[in-house]
Protein backbone atom coordinates (compact mmCIF):
# COMPACT_ATOMS: atom_id res chain seq x y z
CA UNK A 1 0.00 0.00 0.00
CA UNK A 2 1.12 3.52 -0.67
CA UNK A 3 1.25 6.34 1.83
CA UNK A 4 0.41 8.84 -0.91
CA UNK A 5 -2.98 10.11 0.11
CA UNK A 6 -5.06 13.24 -0.12
CA UNK A 7 -6.21 15.24 2.87
CA UNK A 8 -9.98 15.07 3.47
CA UNK A 9 -10.81 18.40 1.84
CA UNK A 10 -8.90 17.34 -1.29
CA UNK A 11 -10.71 14.02 -1.78
CA UNK A 12 -12.81 13.82 -4.93
CA UNK A 13 -14.01 10.21 -4.83
CA UNK A 14 -14.40 7.29 -2.44
CA UNK A 15 -11.08 5.79 -3.54
CA UNK A 16 -9.36 8.94 -2.23
CA UNK A 17 -11.33 8.69 1.02
CA UNK A 18 -10.52 5.01 1.55
CA UNK A 19 -6.85 5.52 0.75
CA UNK A 20 -6.75 8.34 3.29
CA UNK A 21 -8.55 6.29 5.94
CA UNK A 22 -6.19 3.34 5.41
CA UNK A 23 -3.12 5.59 5.68
CA UNK A 24 -4.53 7.21 8.80
CA UNK A 25 -5.17 3.80 10.36
CA UNK A 26 -1.52 2.86 9.76
CA UNK A 27 -0.45 6.12 11.42
CA UNK A 28 -2.74 5.41 14.38
CA UNK A 29 -1.16 1.95 14.77
CA UNK A 30 2.30 3.51 14.80
CA UNK A 31 1.14 5.95 17.48
CA UNK A 32 -0.40 3.13 19.53
CA UNK A 33 2.86 1.22 19.24
CA UNK A 34 4.68 4.25 20.65
CA UNK A 35 2.08 4.72 23.41
CA UNK A 36 2.40 1.11 24.51
CA UNK A 37 6.17 1.55 24.44
CA UNK A 38 5.67 4.19 27.12
CA UNK A 39 3.66 1.62 29.09
CA UNK A 40 6.64 -0.75 28.88
CA UNK A 41 8.89 2.06 30.07
CA UNK A 42 6.54 2.82 32.97
CA UNK A 43 6.49 -0.87 33.95
CA UNK A 44 10.29 -0.84 33.97
CA UNK A 45 10.55 2.40 35.96
CA UNK A 46 7.81 1.98 38.57
CA UNK A 47 9.10 0.26 41.68
CA UNK A 48 5.70 -0.84 43.01
CA UNK A 49 2.97 -2.69 41.14
CA UNK A 50 0.45 -0.73 43.22
CA UNK A 51 1.45 2.49 41.43
CA UNK A 52 0.47 1.19 37.98
CA UNK A 53 -3.19 2.14 38.41
CA UNK A 54 -3.61 5.87 39.05
CA UNK A 55 -7.27 6.86 38.90
CA UNK A 56 -6.46 10.58 39.05
CA UNK A 57 -4.14 10.32 36.07
CA UNK A 58 -6.70 8.19 34.20
CA UNK A 59 -9.41 10.81 34.74
CA UNK A 60 -7.09 13.61 33.63
CA UNK A 61 -6.08 11.79 30.43
CA UNK A 62 -9.71 11.07 29.52
CA UNK A 63 -10.80 14.62 30.31
CA UNK A 64 -7.97 16.01 28.17
CA UNK A 65 -8.98 13.80 25.24
CA UNK A 66 -12.63 14.83 25.58
CA UNK A 67 -11.67 18.50 25.78
CA UNK A 68 -9.44 18.19 22.72
CA UNK A 69 -12.26 16.42 20.89
CA UNK A 70 -14.70 19.21 21.78
CA UNK A 71 -12.24 21.83 20.52
CA UNK A 72 -12.06 19.94 17.22
CA UNK A 73 -15.86 19.55 16.98
CA UNK A 74 -15.55 15.78 17.34
CA UNK A 75 -17.97 13.61 19.38
CA UNK A 76 -16.42 14.22 22.80
CA UNK A 77 -18.48 11.67 24.74
CA UNK A 78 -17.62 8.86 22.33
CA UNK A 79 -13.96 9.92 22.27
CA UNK A 80 -14.00 9.77 26.09
CA UNK A 81 -15.36 6.21 25.86
CA UNK A 82 -12.60 5.25 23.42
CA UNK A 83 -9.99 6.82 25.69
CA UNK A 84 -11.39 5.00 28.72
CA UNK A 85 -10.90 1.71 26.88
CA UNK A 86 -7.45 2.80 25.70
CA UNK A 87 -6.34 3.72 29.23
CA UNK A 88 -7.78 0.53 30.76
CA UNK A 89 -6.05 -1.54 28.07
CA UNK A 90 -2.82 0.36 28.72
CA UNK A 91 -3.07 -0.31 32.47
CA UNK A 92 -3.64 -4.03 31.86
CA UNK A 93 -0.68 -4.11 29.47
CA UNK A 94 1.54 -2.26 31.93
CA UNK A 95 0.59 -4.70 34.71
CA UNK A 96 1.47 -7.64 32.47
CA UNK A 97 4.79 -6.02 31.61
CA UNK A 98 5.50 -5.21 35.27
CA UNK A 99 4.92 -8.85 36.19
CA UNK A 100 6.93 -10.14 33.21
CA UNK A 101 9.92 -7.98 34.07
CA UNK A 102 9.97 -9.21 37.65
CA UNK A 103 9.20 -12.90 37.18
DSSP string computed for 2-49:
------GGG--SHHHHHHHHHHHHHHHHHHHHHHHHHHHHHHHH-S-G
- Residue 58 is assigned to a ligand binding site: no
- Residue 35 is assigned to a ligand binding site: yes
Decide: 39 and 90 in contact? Cβ < 8 Å: yes
Annotated binding site for substrate: 18, 35, 46, 94
Annotated binding site: 18, 35, 46, 94
Amino acid sequence: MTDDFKLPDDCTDMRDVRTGVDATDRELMALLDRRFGYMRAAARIKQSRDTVRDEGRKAAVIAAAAGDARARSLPAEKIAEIWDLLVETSIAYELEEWDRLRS
